[in-house]
Structure 1
Amino acid sequence: MTTPFRDLHHADGPLLLPNAWDHASGAALAAAGFTAIGTTSLGVAAAAGLPDGAAATREHTLGLALTLGSEPFLLSVDAESGFAEDPDAVAEFARELWAVGAVGINLEDGLGPAALHAAKIAAVKSAVPGLFVNARTDTYWLGDGDRADTLRRLDAYQEAGADGVFVPGLSDPGSIADLVRHVEVPLNILYTPTGPAFGHLAALGVRRVSLGSLLYRHALGAALTAADAVRTGHRPPGAAPAYDEVGALSGGRRRPVTCPCVPGG
């Protein structure tokens, strides 16, 4: 099934997919010209004070999808391992995401049984054929990067109907090129500052480059740097959107200051 989101994986260059963790970050990325945006499970979990990868953020993830799904960009949701072991339950979650406007879902195997993950993929594709399923294997993220196991898993996920495959933690150019030649669907790689640059990944044949939690972690780092600068008598470095600019991301207007608080706080 051809969809606008699927087409972005087959354009002249790879899809650079930044990952949002709330409405403001998603709206800001859209305003910066990104037509497709993912979510980051770490950012969603950390913002809620919950652990990542522990199936603890199903409702938070769905709530964010509800917030972002009606925005004028294509939304792909990081759903960890589907927040369930039962493939039918994962398919039901996928239906809920589709209903609120998401066009893609990222499902990770967490190095669980490949057959179970393949069953989840098949169940989602049967329930929501139009939803782009990005099937992630954690052989390099959590495992030892065994090539044979990686290929076995990717083959199983493609056979189950995955629209794309994702191998986070892989940064060796030769190994990436090897996977590009092996898989029949678009290969997604997680960008890392110590790995190949975006242009290099494009030259290797990668079709989707995700930023994962990178933006969220940079935002936290910038907040800490700014707070420490003020504490030590300096001006915060870097640029920050004005209060009204942030409010405009959600169509809001500047509220009147009616309390003895700091304007813009």
Structure 2
Amino acid sequence: MTLTVTTEERRRLALAATGAELRADDAGAVRFVGLASPFNSRAAIGNPRTWGFYEEFAPGAYTKTLSEGDQRMLIDHDSYFVVSRVSAGTLKLAQSARGLEVDSALDDELSYVRDLKANLRNGNITGMSIGFYVVKDQWTMIEVEEEGDDGKVRVFDAELRTVLEVRLIEASAVTFPAFTDTEAELKSVASALALRADVGAVERRAVHRPELRDVLQVIAREPGESTRADETTEPGETTRRHVEEIDLAMRGLSARYGLKLPTA
């Protein structure tokens, strides 16, 4: 079964939350070490009360991609600034009980790596981020307790997206540790909805954020990437649907919002 993955997604963490640091190895060489993506850590993507959702990465989400991929470490997701690479032996990625661990060599022969080290020491670069494609995910409804300014606890319903499998492209040291503008948040929500291909999910959110339709149009025009689901692995709830059902849902989105969808 071939699924069309619409666009690359990105998630960011503050360095303080990753435990990232410059650490000397046994030979005295300085390396960058940190947690790029924690497991079972719930994060808000957009506003979960209205147009967003909660998201967490399940343990094992990186198992397949780490065995097959050739990931890079970059600076601010810029492919010009390649710090290290798995196939070159300069980047080590592994899953621990905490999540995705990064251990990168830092070559001082590269001027931008010297700059990176200085910016990390000076606190100018304050975040980590990953670039990835979701292969399998699962959506569920959850109840969330929230304490208001008046001290009262209120309960609201929200959707939780559990990411079960990803295709990891790169990890980056980034200047901004979290989304700093609405456009980035909207694109993150729209990317997840495009993969989900659920017209109702779009309509519920568009009531609160009509701009989502515009962002979906942009995403739909971007070239898609095809990934082949592992036939030996039981798919998650979302990707269990046959490709014909996914196509039908996407055609519904196209008819509703005038999207020009890419072909697989």
Q: TM-score range by the shorter chain?
A: under 0.3
Q: Which has the higher strand share?
A: 2
Q: Which has the higher helix share?
A: 1
TM-score (norm 2): 0.25
TM-score (norm 1): 0.25
